[in-house]
Amino acid sequence: MILCLFAIVLLVTGARFLRANKNTSATTQEGAVVPFVFGVASYASYFLGLIFLAAFHVRSLFFFACVIFLAVCLGKISCTRNYLKLPRAFHTALGVYFATALFSMLGGITHRSLETGLTGSILGAVFAGLALRFRRASI
């Protein structure tokens, strides 16, 4: 996950220099908060929805149909709102990674694992810091 973090930072920094401060259609409509929150909400809904289905021991065919349905719905929403185009894709990915780090931290706390809880806390702080650092939509 740390390698993914460095890759995101490297690619976004490189894209910023290559774009030469030109505004895109994605930068003029909304800021960075909405894609970030969408990333957090999409990961949480996908993850918790599948845990909910597994807890009720639904049939495997129904479970995998729900996996596909949720992935298609989240992909359709992302494409409709242009969350998969730069610079919003960066904030959406940060939201997903932030949610992943929070779930990791909560898992570490629940299972009394200091290493997992600390790693999730540090990564969550890094992703939140990156989101604050690049809060303007025109990365």
Q: Assign 3-class secondary structure to 58-96.
A: CCHHHHHHHHHHHHHHHHHHHHHCCCCCCCHHHHHHHHH
109-138 mean pLDDT: 75
> Mutual orientation of helices 114-133 and 88-110 as an angle, nearest 10°?
160
Q: What is this structure's pTM? A: 0.64
Quote the tokens at residue 35.
């894609």
Question: What's the rounded Cα separation, in Å, for the pair 85 and 88?
Answer: 6
Rg of the chain over Cα atoms, rounded to whole angstroms, equals 17
Grade residue 27 by pLDDT with cuts at 50, 70 and 90.
Answer: very low
Amino acid present at 68: I
Grade residue 49 by pLDDT with cuts at 50, 70 and 90.
Answer: confident
Grade residue 17 by pLDDT with cuts at 50, 70 and 90.
Answer: low
Residues 90 and 8 sit within 8 Å (Cβ to Cβ): yes
